[in-house]
Amino acid sequence: MNIQQAKEVSSKALQHLSDSLAQGESEVLRNYLAAMEKFHRYSASNILLIMTQRPDVTHVAGHQALRKLLRQVTRGAKGIVIFAPLVRKTVDSNDCGIETERQNLVGFRAAVVFDVADSEANPLLSLTQFEGNPGEYLRRLKALVTESGCALEYSTSILPAQGQCSAGKIILLPDLAPAEEFHVLTHEVAHSRLHFTARRAQTRKCIRETEA
């Protein structure tokens, strides 16, 4: 797949997302938001490309990144094409002779990354796995959620996300390790309080009054 084909795939994926939202199909949006959380360092276009080419993707990395992790791409594995920036370095000099290096974006090229599940070697170090036992703190956090009038439920329907919040409800993936559950629940509680509480309405009111 070349850069033009990647642009076409990204454009079709964006149109599909737009059409799905217009038709009230929230599942597509949930999957996209889950992918945004998983691949937060990637652009919106690259997230759409990754989702379209490999919906069940776990983590992605290029050849060089995998080699640094002492991993090799499995023979026959299919790569995922994304946009990679083309950067041109320039050096400017002021009147005092002090040089400043700048990087200017001049375009994009097609690059290939692979699902880490399609590589083999030593196990990857997990940068997102939480360990330990929160003990009483997890129970108290759950109590805080329910006492605030927010329902706490468990369901696999939110996959690939581990947690999801809406007005009056937080859903977690079942069977998470205690430390991981504490982390995910803390994250969703923060989202819930930020987006679905009276404090948000008051904040929006203050912003409107300031703008007026």
Residue given tokens 């990395």 in the structure block: 61
pLDDT number for residue 123 = 57
Confidence of residue 184 (pLDDT cuts 50, 70, 90): very high
Confidence of residue 98 (pLDDT cuts 50, 70, 90): confident
Contacts for 93 with CB less than 8 Å, ≥ 6 apart = 99, 100
Cβ atoms < 10 Å from Cβ of 58: 11
pTM over 0.75, yes/no: no
Residues 6+ apart with CB under 8 A from 90: 101, 102, 103, 104
What is the DSSP annotation of 58-81?
A: --EE-HHHHHHTTEEEPTTPPPEE
Residue 179, Cβ density class (10 Å: 0-12 exposed, 13-18 middle, ≥19 buried): middle
pLDDT over threshold 70, residue 207:
no
When the pLDDT of each residue in the chain is averaged and rounded to a whole number, the result is 80
Intra-chain end-to-end CA distance of the chain, in Å: 50
154-175 pLDDT, tens digit each = 999 888 788 998 888 999 999 8
Model pLDDT for residues 20-69, shown as the tens digit of each residue: 777 776 777 777 777 777 777 788 888 888 888 888 888 888 888 888 87
Q: Establish whether the linkage from the previous residue to 123 is cis, with ω within 30° of 0.
A: no
Q: In what order do the strands lie in the sheet with 80-93?
A: 60-61, 99-115, 80-93
Among residues 144, 150, 127, 135, the alpha carbon closest in space to that of 181 is found at 135
Tally the residues of the chain.
212
CA distance 91 to 99: 6
Give the span between the Cα atoms of 46 and 54, in whole angstroms: 12
